[in-house]
Amino acid sequence: MKLLAQRLLGPVTLVSMALTIWLGLVVTPPDKVQGNLARLVYVHPAVAWVALYLSFGTATIASVLYLWPRTRSATADRVAHSAMEVSLVFIALTLITGSIWGRPTWGVWWAWDARLTSTAILGLLAVGYLALRRANDDPELRAKRSAVFAVLSAINVPIIHFSVLWWKTLHQGATVFTANRTLLIHGIMAWTLLISFVAFSLAYCWLLRARYRLEVARETLGARAIDDALAARVLEGRS
Amino acid sequence: MAVTERPELTPVAPPPSASRSRRRSLAVLVVLALAIVALLSQGLLHNLNYFKTVDEVLASRESIGTGVIRLEGVVAPHSIRRTNVGTDFVVTGPRGSIPVDASGTPPQLFQANIPVVVVGHFASASSTTFFGSAIMVKHTAAYIAQYPNRVKAPNGSVR
């Protein structure tokens, strides 16, 4: 069952992505105010959802699991590392797609408002996490320090989420997760938005799995390379 | 005869040093802190609230003087007039309105009844006209189909 799910993950991701593209570009109508520019609503929010909540959330939870002595494992550290790398990619995509959307709608590529600035800071924190991992040679120390850093960095996620409510921003307020639970998008547009969230979430799972396997392979091959080097030196000593 | 003596395995690299790791980690954190402070100084520290609404500006008109601010309001219907240098229009809030003389080309979504943020200043301390150097459209979070018959709300009503 697990193997089947793993095999199906890639094809299902591709199908859901194709469905999102077809619905977003062909089936859904233009928006009353934004016209065809609103079609970016089927990309940007879903990418941001993955960046902020899914991947950064995974990295944070895995870091907490590592810091908790009972659940501490190399797997938790690997998952945190992999999720943070994927998160950085999606944070960059969030900023890029937001900027592409902002230029024709707002009239500017970038605005220093609370939502945009705090998202850029999250990107910096993700870069900082990865830099911190490179700075530490000892695996245990590296895992512990980066886990603490990830948990502290996660404080920024609710700040980003609520920034449009706490402060006056150029960025629009919530369309889906509104304060009074009112959906501000209807019909096929809402369904397409939902499918885009599913598609990008699946893409995240696929990327996370691939990155995790790469990390395991890197560690295994690294250990094997050391074994091979030791064996070669032993042979040198014998000759 | 089998070799029983273990060969000398000289380490290729020195073992990881805790103090070196600490120094590197500190360097990363310092660079990161500087970058975040730089971002904050551009963004949140001065612009936690990105703009002032029409009502806020009218209430604190004296203290604003001729300083550069970002003014937010809804473009009043039938107030848009193209000029040689840009666009004249009126922005309104719940309790008042401010006439705006803006230079430059407005964004493509600029139209009546849409919320905008105008960067600019008043000509003098007593002036009521706001001179804008840039217009940004602040679109709402609602997405409604251009062709209403295609989209129905969950309760069955046509939007």
ipTM: 0.78
Percent of chain A with pLDDT over 90: 64
Chain B partners of A32 at a C-beta cutoff of 8 Å?
A: 144-146
> Rounded to an integer, what distance in angstroms lies between the CA atom of residue A150 and that of residue A58?
10
pLDDT tens track for A85-102 = 999 999 999 999 999 999
> Rounded to an integer, what distance in angstroms lies between the CA atom of residue A136 and that of residue B123?
57
Mutate to test the interface with B, among A99, A145, A170, A226 (most CBs of B within 10 A): A170
Residue B158 pLDDT more than 60?
no
> Rounded to an integer, what distance in angstroms lies between the CA atom of residue A173 and that of residue A166?
11
Q: If pLDDT is split at 50, 70 and 90, which confidence band does A161 have?
A: very high
pLDDT of residue B8: 64
pLDDT tens track for A102-111 = 999 999 999 9
Q: In whole numbers, what is the pLDDT of chain A averaged over residues?
A: 91
Distance from CA of A107 to the nearest CA of B (A): 5
Residue A145 pLDDT more than 80?
yes
Q: If pLDDT is split at 50, 70 and 90, which confidence band does A127 have?
A: very high
Residue B153 pLDDT more than 70?
no
pLDDT of residue A41: 93
Tokens, residue A60? 């944070």
Strand partners, B152: B158
Interhelix angle A74-105/A114-135, rounded to 10 degrees, is 150
- Smallest Cα–Cα separation from B85: which of B104, B98, B63? B104
Distance from CA of A166 to the nearest CA of B (A): 9
Q: Which of residues 170-189 of A touch B (CB under 8 A)?
A: 170, 172-175, 178, 183-189
Contact B136 A33 (CB under 8 A): no
Distance from CA of A28 to the nearest CA of B (A): 8
Q: If pLDDT is split at 50, 70 and 90, which confidence band does B159 have?
A: very low
Residue A237 pLDDT more than 90?
no
A209 has a chain B CB within 8 A of its CB: no
Which one is predicted more confidently, B8 or B38?
B38
Contact B143 A136 (CB under 8 A): no
Tokens, residue A204? 């995240």
Residue B151 pLDDT more than 80?
no
Percent of chain A with pLDDT over 70: 100
pLDDT tens track for A48-77 = 999 999 999 999 999 999 999 999 999 999
pLDDT of residue A185: 84
pLDDT tens track for B105-142 = 899 899 999 999 999 999 888 888 999 999 999 888 88
Backbone angles phi, psi at B111, to 5 degrees: -165, 175
Percent of chain B with pLDDT over 70: 77
Residue A230 pLDDT more than 90?
no
Q: Which of residues 127-146 of A touch B (CB under 8 A)?
A: 127-128, 131-132, 135-138, 141-142, 145
Mutate to test the interface with B, among A153, A168, A193 (most CBs of B within 10 A): A168
**Cβ distance A96 to A104 under 8 Å?**
no
pLDDT of residue B10: 67
pLDDT of residue A42: 95
DSSP helix/strand/coil, B137: strand
Nearest CA in chain B to A41: B143
| Over residues A30-50, mean pLDDT | 92
Residue A234 pLDDT more than 90?
no
Residue B72 pLDDT more than 80?
yes
> Rounded to an integer, what distance in angstroms lies between the CA atom of residue B100 and that of residue B114?
15
pLDDT of residue B46: 66
pLDDT of residue B144: 84
Chain B partners of A175 at a C-beta cutoff of 8 Å?
A: 141-143
Residue A26 pLDDT more than 60?
yes
pLDDT tens track for A173-220 = 888 777 777 778 888 899 999 999 999 999 999 999 999 999 898 888
pLDDT of residue A231: 86
pLDDT tens track for B25-60 = 888 889 888 888 888 887 666 668 889 999 999 998
Q: In whole numbers, what is the pLDDT of chain B averaged over residues?
A: 83
